[in-house]
């Protein structure tokens, strides 16, 4: 499973790097702001997770992640120079997979290091949403995480489904895949039908 996860993780990093590059494009950034923003979005969440769990930061151990980030940013720049139209719709679908994957990877890492389940769910959510949060804060946007279609709650639901399956006695090998599926489907559904969670009555 480790190999699968490594490749899927790299795919998640690439998707997030593309989304950071697109934000830099919208903000008409020059110079190297693109690479800074792509890196922050792609590896920010996982970096915070590893620091908080006191593990070696994942992109320091394995330089594949740095090269993937740079490569994805450069390819996106090349694409945008050739054609101003970008398939945003496919990106959103890919982004849902990236979110789900970061979520599950974050949980797995926390559980392997003996964190309690509630902490593991928090770690999955942080891994999934923190990169995008940083991207938006740096660009002076109100973070998408905070009022966009169930971004964070999708991660938490995925985490809870993992916990439910585990406590129900299923083999631990199936739990991440089930949580991955739940997170992806819920994210896609939230985007498709514009689910909201209005916690305050704002008349």
Site residues for a copy of itself per CB under 8 A: 24-25, 27-37, 39, 47, 51-54, 56-57, 59-60, 63, 66-67, 77, 80-81, 115-116, 118-119, 122, 129, 133, 137-140, 142-143, 145-153, 156, 196-202
As a whole number of angstroms, the distance between CA 87 and CA 203 comes to 37
As a whole number of angstroms, the distance between CA 184 and CA 98 comes to 9
Q: Which is nearer to a copy of itself, 1 or 78 (CB)?
A: 78
Q: Which is nearer to a copy of itself, 25 or 177 (CB)?
A: 25
Three-state secondary structure call for residue 131: helix
Distance of closest approach, residue 200 Cβ to a copy of itself, in angstroms: 6
Q: Which is nearer to a copy of itself, 55 or 177 (CB)?
A: 55
Q: Which is nearer to a copy of itself, 112 or 170 (CB)?
A: 112
Burial group, residue 143, by CB count within 10 angstroms (0-12, 13-18, 19+):
middle
Among residues 78, 61, 60, 64, the alpha carbon closest in space to that of 21 is found at: 78
């Amino acid at each position: 499973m480790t190999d699968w996860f490594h490749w899927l993780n790299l795919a998640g990093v690439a998707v997030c790097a593309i989304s950071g590059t697109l934000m830099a494009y919208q903000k008409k950034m020059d110079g190297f702001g693109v690479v800074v923003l792509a890196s922050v979005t792609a590896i920010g969440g996982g970096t915070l997770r590893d620091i908080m769990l006191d593990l070696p930061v994942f992109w320091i151990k394995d330089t594949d992640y740095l090269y993937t980030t740079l490569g994805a940013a450069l390819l996106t720049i090349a694409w945008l120079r050739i054609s101003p139209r970008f398939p945003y719709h496919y990106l959103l679908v890919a982004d849902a997979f990236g979110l789900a994957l970061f979520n599950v990877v974050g949980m797995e890492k926390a559980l392997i290091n003996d964190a309690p389940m509630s902490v593991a769910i928090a770690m999955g959510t942080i891994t999934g949403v923190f990169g995008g949060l940083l991207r938006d804060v740096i660009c002076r946007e109100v973070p998408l995480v905070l009022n966009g279609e169930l971004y964070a709650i999708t991660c938490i639901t995925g985490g809870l489904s993992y916990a439910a399956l585990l406590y129900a006695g299923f083999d631990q090998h199936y739990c991440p895949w089930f949580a991955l599926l739940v997170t992806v489907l819920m994210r896609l559904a939230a985007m498709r039908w514009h689910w909201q969670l209005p916690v305050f009555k704002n008349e």
